[in-house]
């Protein structure tokens, strides 16, 4: 069972607004809103006043457009070759990341006999997507390069914002300012955007006109080594489908990698790596619960995973829970108020972002909200 707390998403959106009061708060809803479900999440954010959404790809943008006709939808991955008409028909704003993409968008505007909105994306040190300062100079100088293109947004993306002390933050800000100095005279109405979720916490110099949080809205902690500023928004629970009594030396799971040291009790839960509960969260007998391997919270106790995670099941060692407290059919929390998505990420050797975007499609999903009531997705085996 996967429960998405839409009130928490809304509260997190309002934390962003309060932290960057001078800027508009947009929302990044790519990858199905980091696994939470793009449409219900975006609808709730729109109800909170969000008018600018960011997706990664045009197909995501078209799906969002069908749900929210009135909002601005930016496509972060830019304009794929030969797809400009699709972007125009869905009313999408590509984040143009090269002079070639700008040329294709310009040609589409000419073909359609209209002006088309765009964001211009500049690289400031991430070396992933974005044009260079030299490209900015060319665009500033040569009006023909952007003919027919209505530049609404000028943006860049930070590489190290999770670490406020990292010198690359200021370096990227400096380079971005150089780009802005070049382009502002040509596009005086364009708005400016730099900050992702961690960038929101780097202070007002990084806020500009529009901030673009993603993971923070969904309850992930975007700050390395600092307390989470956001509220958890996702709870994943798995049902206890079997309880077993083991004797010393009995092994659990594939490869028999975990063995009971003495009499032990095991609860088998109905979730596995096919549900996005990563196999890396398994634990062999030698490993200490404090350091590695997943945990579940059940009957008020936090208990360690025992053995390998299977495709559809995992086992937890409930020997420390007084007998009789756990019954077949009970639910165990795998992610939620007691087990943060970031801790799960750490224990799996990854980050909370990847845990969220891996959340399985097989869970029954529930969207809850005090104000708007709960809605269950129909079906689901769990």
Binding site for ligand PLP (CB under 6 A): 28, 30, 76, 157, 196-197, 212-216, 222
Is 30 an active-site residue?
A: yes
The minimum distance between CB 279 and ligand PLP, in angstroms, equals: 24
Q: Which is nearer to ligand PLP, 28 or 316 (CB)?
A: 28
Task: Determine the length of the chain.
Answer: 382
Give the C-alpha separation, 59 to 79, whole Å: 12
Is the Cα torsion angle 165, 169, 173, 174 positive or negative in sign?
Answer: positive
Helix (H, G, I), strand (E, B) or coil at 283: strand
Q: In this structure, what token pair is assigned to residue 119?
A: 């964001």
Helix (H, G, I), strand (E, B) or coil at 256: helix
The minimum distance between CB 197 and ligand PLP, in angstroms, equals: 3
C-beta nearest to ligand PLP: residue? 214
In the block, tokens 């990854």 appear at: 350
Q: Which is nearer to ligand PLP, 211 or 306 (CB)?
A: 211
The minimum distance between CB 282 and ligand PLP, in angstroms, equals: 27
Report how far apart, in Å, the C-alpha atoms of 267 and of each of 81, 154, 318 are: 52, 53, 6
From the candidates 17, 206, 218, 254, give the one annotated as an active-site residue: 254
Q: Which is nearer to ligand PLP, 157 or 347 (CB)?
A: 157
Give the C-alpha separation, 78 to 98, whole Å: 9
The minimum distance between CB 222 and ligand PLP, in angstroms, equals: 5
Q: In this structure, what token pair is assigned to residue 62?
A: 């078209």
Q: Which is nearer to ligand PLP, 13 or 258 (CB)?
A: 13
Q: Give the start-end residues of each E strand in 110-199.
A: 116-121, 149-155, 191-193
The minimum distance between CB 355 and ligand PLP, in angstroms, equals: 13
Give the C-alpha separation, 207 to 201, whole Å: 9
From the candidates 13, 30, 273, 353, give the one annotated as an active-site residue: 30
Q: Which is nearer to ligand PLP, 232 or 253 (CB)?
A: 232
Give the C-alpha separation, 299 to 89, whole Å: 53
The minimum distance between CB 154 and ligand PLP, in angstroms, equals: 13
Around 79, how many Cα atoms within 13 Å sit in the side-chain half-sphere?
A: 31
Give the C-alpha separation, 216 to 342, whole Å: 11
Which of 187, 316, 341 has the alpha carbon at shortest distance from 240?
316
Helix (H, G, I), strand (E, B) or coil at 138: helix
Helix (H, G, I), strand (E, B) or coil at 75: strand
Tell me whether strands 365-368 and 2-5 are parallel, antiparallel or unpaired: parallel
Q: Which is nearer to ligand PLP, 148 or 198 (CB)?
A: 198
Would you please indicate which residues are annotated as catalytic (active-site) residues? Answer: 30, 254
């Amino acid at each position: 069972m996967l429960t998405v707390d839409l009130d928490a998403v809304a509260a997190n959106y309002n934390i962003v607004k309060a932290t960057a009061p001078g800027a508009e708060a947009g929302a990044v809803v790519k990858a199905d809103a980091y696994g939470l479900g793009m449409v219900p999440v975006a609808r709730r954010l729109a109800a909170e006043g969000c008018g600018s959404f960011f997706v990664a790809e045009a197909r995501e943008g078209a799906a969002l457009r069908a749900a929210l006709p009135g909002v601005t939808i930016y496509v972060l991955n830019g304009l794929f070759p030969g797809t400009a008409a699709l972007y125009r028909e869905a009313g999408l704003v590509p984040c143009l990341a090269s002079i070639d993409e700008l040329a294709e968008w310009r040609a589409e505007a000419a073909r359609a006999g209209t002006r088309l909105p765009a964001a211009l994306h500049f690289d400031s040190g991430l070396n992933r997507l974005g044009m260079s300062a030299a490209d900015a100079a060319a665009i500033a100088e040569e009006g023909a390069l952007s003919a027919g293109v209505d530049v609404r947004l000028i943006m860049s993306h930070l590489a190290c914002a999770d670490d406020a002390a990292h010198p690359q933050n200021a370096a990227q800000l400096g380079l971005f300012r150089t780009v802005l100095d070049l382009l502002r005279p040509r596009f005086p109405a364009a708005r400016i955007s730099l900050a992702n979720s961690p960038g929101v916490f780097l202070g007002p110099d990084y806020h500009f006109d529009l901030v673009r949080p993603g993971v923070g809205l969904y309850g992930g902690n975007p700050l390395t080594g600092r307390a989470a500023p956001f509220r958890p928004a996702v709870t994943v629970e798995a049902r206890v489908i079997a309880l077993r009594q083991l004797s010393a030396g009995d092994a659990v799971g594939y490869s028999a990698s975990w063995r009971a040291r003495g009499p032990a009790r095991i609860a088998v839960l109905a979730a596995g790596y096919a549900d996005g509960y990563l196999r890396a969260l398994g634990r062999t007998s030698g490993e200490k619960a404090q350091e590695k391997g997943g945990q579940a919270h059940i009957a008020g106790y936090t208990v360690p995973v025992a053995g390998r995670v299977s495709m559809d099941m995992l086992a937890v060692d409930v020997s420390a829970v007084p007998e009789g407290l756990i019954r077949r059919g009970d639910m165990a929390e795998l992610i939620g108020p007691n087990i943060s998505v970031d801790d799960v990420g750490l224990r799996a050797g990854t980050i909370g972002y990847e845990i969220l975007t891996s959340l399985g499609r097989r869970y029954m999903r529930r969207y809850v909200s005090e104000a708007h009531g709960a809605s269950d997705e129909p079906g689901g085996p769990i």
